[in-house]
């Protein structure tokens, strides 16, 4: 989600099935100390998404991977 002023937002969604790969990174001392990082989602449609300042990015990455696995089994 991008805020563009007080009354404007841009929201981008990416279906789980379109996520081709994802990774996370912690950059710097404070990010590592407080476990905040950036998650990168790479899609099959080349609509990549970067999510910054994510708490516990490893857990979120694992959660997204698990949801992808579960959605694959259901389809």
Supply the CATH number for residue 69's domain: 2.40.50
pTM value > 0.85: no
With the C-alpha atoms ordered 55, 27, 20, 44, is the resulting torsion angle positive or negative? Answer: positive
Tokens of 1: 């989600």
Give residue 71's pLDDT.
80
Strand segments, DSSP code E, in 4-44 are 9-10, 19-25, 36-43
Give residue 3's pLDDT.
59
Contact 37, 54 (CB under 8 A): yes
Give residue 42's pLDDT.
94
Total domains, the chain: 1
Per-residue pLDDT of the chain (75 residues; tens, 9 = 90+): 555 667 788 888 888 889 999 999 999 999 999 999 999 999 988 889 999 999 999 999 999 999 998 886 655
Distance of alpha carbon 32 from alpha carbon 6, whole angstroms: 32
Domain that holds residue 26: 2-74
């Amino acid at each position: 989600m991008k805020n563009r002023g007080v009354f404007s937002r841009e929201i981008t969604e990416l279906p789980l099935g379109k996520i081709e790969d994802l990774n996370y990174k912690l950059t710097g001392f404070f990010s590592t100390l407080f476990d905040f990082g950036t998650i990168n989602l790479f899609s099959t449609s080349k609509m990549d998404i970067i999510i910054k300042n994510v708490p516990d990015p490893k857990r979120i990455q694992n959660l997204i991977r698990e949801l992808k696995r579960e959605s694959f089994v259901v389809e």
